[in-house]
Structure formats: structure tokens, C-alpha cells
Structure 1
Amino acid sequence: MPPKFGDLKRYCERDGWVLVRNTDHWYYEKVLSDGTVLQTKVSHAIHKEIPAHLWKWILKKQLRISEKDFWDKL
């Protein structure tokens, strides 16, 4: 089951992502040790589930982690 947007927000806060903007969404960034900057945005609709296809894309392209690593951080 995909997580809710609230789970993604909590992950970002626990994993050292920095909130860079709060407008229509929460926008987070994280700088990796090699200088790579990761970015993601989180809907304010924290009670809604992230659609499965979007969740896979977020894991692969934005967070760059496995689903197991995501759940382990929560």
C-alpha cells in the first residue's frame, strides 16, 4: 500500500531534508555528500494516499531510496 502524503512529510523531516518553501505544497531539499541536491514536494493533503505510480516515481527520482529504506526511517 502506498504511503500518505503525511508519511512522506514525516520521512523528509526525520531524514534531514530542509523545508525550502511552503506555498501550494511543502518543498524540501537535501544535499548529499557528493553535492547532489535532491528535491521533492509534498501535498498539504496529508491524509490522502500517494497514487502508486507517483509513489514509485518519487522513490526512484526524488528520494533515490528503496521502499524498505523509506519505511525503516519512519
Structure 2
Amino acid sequence: RALQHPGNVWALHGLHECLVRLGREGEARIVAQQLRLAAALADVPVEASCFCRLDTAPAPGGAGGCCATDR
């Protein structure tokens, strides 16, 4: 399934965010290039890897999810 939608801006944003948070800067730079291209072609500005995610700042301690059902 990972190759089902290559160049997907939402997936690339999430991957880039994960790589940065893991400190994998070399891989993050490579993905950042792909992300810039995908973002340039996107029809909406992408600031998070999930459209329903309201907070784009890092969650303290990694708590909470973007699509929590207890809103």
C-alpha cells in the first residue's frame, strides 16, 4: 500500500515530520525535496499530515492523536 499513491503530499508531510522528530536529518532532507514539489502541486496548503489535525505544533510527550474521537 505504501506505493499506491506515490508523491502524496499528506503522506510526505507525515513522513518528513516523523524523520525530523527522530533526528534522521539526512533522510528528512531527501523527503523535504519531494514534499516541496508535492506541496507546489497541492490544491490546499498542507501544514499537517492529516487534514483534520487542528494543532500543527508538536504535542507534549507525543500525547493525543489528530483524529481523536473524544472531541
**Given the two structures, how large is their TM-score scaled by the length of structure 2?**
0.29
Q: Which structure's residues are more often strand, by fraction?
A: 1
Q: Which structure's residues are more often helix, by fraction?
A: 2
